[in-house]
Structure 1
Amino acid sequence: MPTSYKVKFWEHRHRPDRKTPWMVRWTVAGREFSESFLTKPQADGRKAELVVAAACSSASGRKTPFPGTSTAGTT
């Protein structure tokens, strides 16, 4: 599996017309990933987990960018 240290995080996206309006977005080696949440604190918590994982882990895989992240939430 290809690996990459190029991880970027974006600000939360708020989509009030959706069932899960708060979106956490990030890229790994130019590929976009996202997960949606019902509340902003949930989105904040997940983003914090991802930031810590990016800072503490070895290279991230493109298909599963961080522990606990599946490709089902990718865009």
Structure 2
Amino acid sequence: MAGVITHRQRPATASGVTFINLEDETGMANIVVSIGAWNHNAKVARGAAAVIVTGRIQRTGQVVNLNAEKLQPLPLAAKTKSRDFR
């Protein structure tokens, strides 16, 4: 999955898990980044405006998440900023 990062969130109640929201021309996607995946991909996860995410899809009822294993930067022609850790 690939897209522009619109949000990065790490709630105090999530035990170090980070949630990233991606957006592309088809809509929004929820990405769950474990502590280990975050540490392994920290530079890209923290600094890229857009990413390519490889991982496993998890579905619970109507809710679909992608559990990230690898994040790669996705070059963008336009500059954009995400809303981080609020």
TM > 0.5 fold call: no
TM-score category (smaller protein) = 0.3 to 0.5
Q: TM-score, normalised by structure 2?
A: 0.40
Task: Considering fraction of residues, name the structure with more helix.
Answer: 1
